Amino acid sequence: MNKLLKFVKSLEPNKEKSPLLYTLYDGFFTFLYAPNHVTHGPGVHIRDRMDLKRLMVHVVLALGVCYLFGMYNTGHQHFKALGIHTSFFDAANLKLHFGIGKMIPIFLVTHIVGLGIEFYYAARKGHGIEEGFLVSGALIPLIMPPDIPLLWLAMAVAFAVILGKEAFGGTGMNVWNVALLARVFIFFAYPTTISGDEVWVAGLESTAAGSAVDYSWWHTGLGNWVFDLFGWELFNPAMVVADGYTGATPLGLAAKGGWDAVTQVYSETAMWWGAIPGSVGETCKPFIILGALFLIFTRVASWRIMASMFIGAVFTGVLFNAFGATPFMQVPWEYHFYMGSFFFAMAFMATDPVTASATAKGKWIYGFMIGVVGMIVRVLNPAYPEGWMLAILFMNTFAPLIDHFIIQGNISKRLKHA
């Protein structure tokens, strides 16, 4: 091990002469080895190997099952549109191969653009690579539609990293969640496309009946060549979209016709397990909950924010059910958790330690208000039947103010007993 360490250290470039190369080297070195910095002076100090990079790796690990399911479901939705292999586990080789082919470009563009900007700013500032994009880069592909144009994605990532983080000083200084800023850029820059049905199902010229598939060498070349060796199902470039198919998401249906309109197209089981159109990694509720429990167990994410956000959503959903003025208000409150990205937002977005409230009491207020505001946006805003993205960004803005009043209240109580 010492020989390996010496070898890696021998590759270290000169920081003054080659700042960019040094930045790249430092990021690689700290990925391999935990920093050995210690505090100086008298007193008792506690130190472990859990630095920022390794803390964030826990979030990436929790997202692993979402990636696997999201890629498979991308392929499943494609073949459902064609009216073939409609059972979830039919032609698994085709569905997984198709999903991997859609995910790789999205993942690469996200990281090339995001990390490229991070490396540039780190070299200019003369410090090591900040690990903040490790989690943002893992989250962004999962919250995007599977058919997102890559140019749009590149612009969204650049916007989020430059204006959402670097403009405020880098990792740990940003006010808003970086991954959500990328998503909000896509939503407001291309509202008609992102709100329609086309972008949620990939690999088709259109979701209209009779539309052709959009296959490349990845499918009919590499894929069919490998699958033919094993006698498996093959991609058929002559297939077209089936009659009567709709790529509408459950939320889009609920906004127009309530819960009855949703259940005419999707079963409750399909919605809970995630076999529906939607963002790549936000549909499978059991896997997301599994990731949330992992983050709670490792103490990476706050259970207080998750619990209070759930309570806030239930509270507002019950009020809407009692009022019931529109079909969307009449959707039973518990079924709101079957649709959309509530659990993903709760587990991986609202709990961002940089942009969330830091005080224990503040976390309860912060999470509860996200649940309330998110449900209000979802039900009452016909242009955006989701809510959690806007609710979290809104409460990111007020998180420092919440903590300020909590701290000032604690100070006032202590002063009275002084």
Closest CA to 76 of 340, 270, 287: 270
Calpha distance 282→31 (Å, rounded): 28
CB 331 within 8 A of CB 259: yes
The Cα-based distances of 87 to 42, 76, 80, 83, 84 in angstroms read 66, 9, 9, 10, 8
Calpha distance 137→108 (Å, rounded): 10
Half-sphere exposure of 119 (CA within 13 A, CB side): 17
What's residue 182's pLDDT?
94
Calpha distance 73→67 (Å, rounded): 10
Backbone phi and psi for residue 368, each to the nearest 5 degrees, phi listed first: -60, -45
List of the chain residues with pLDDT < 50 = none
Half-sphere exposure of 395 (CA within 13 A, CB side): 30
Calpha distance 75→244 (Å, rounded): 19
3-state SS, residue 212: strand
Structure tokens at 292: 């949330």
What's residue 28's pLDDT?
62
CB atoms within 10 A of CB 409: 12
What's residue 29's pLDDT?
64
Backbone phi and psi for residue 204, each to the nearest 5 degrees, phi listed first: -130, 145
Calpha distance 182→393 (Å, rounded): 12
Burial of 291 (0-12, 13-18, 19+ CB in 10 A): buried
Structure tokens at 96: 């997984």
Calpha distance 59→352 (Å, rounded): 10
Burial of 314 (0-12, 13-18, 19+ CB in 10 A): middle
What's residue 169's pLDDT?
76
What's residue 228's pLDDT?
94
| Beta-bridge mates of residue 240 | 212
148-185: burial string, b at 16+ Cβ within 10 Å, e else: beeebbebbbbbbbeebbbeeebbeebbbbbbbbbbbb
CB atoms within 10 A of CB 192: 6
Radius of gyration (C-alpha) of the chain in whole angstroms? 23
Structure tokens at 362: 């503040």
N-terminal to C-terminal alpha carbon distance within the chain: 55
Backbone phi and psi for residue 212, each to the nearest 5 degrees, phi listed first: -85, 160
Calpha distance 177→102 (Å, rounded): 25
Backbone phi and psi for residue 240, each to the nearest 5 degrees, phi listed first: -135, 165
What's residue 383's pLDDT?
75
Q: At CA 59, angle to CA 274 and CA 93, rounded to 5?
A: 40
What's residue 208's pLDDT?
87
Start-end of H helices in 223-302: 224-230, 250-263, 268-273, 285-297
What's residue 188's pLDDT?
87
pLDDT digits (tens, 9 = 90+) for 289-327: 999 999 999 888 999 999 999 999 999 999 999 988 888
What's residue 101's pLDDT?
95
pLDDT digits (tens, 9 = 90+) for 124-150: 776 666 666 788 899 999 999 998 999
Q: Which helix (H) or strand (E) holds 372?
A: helix 360-380
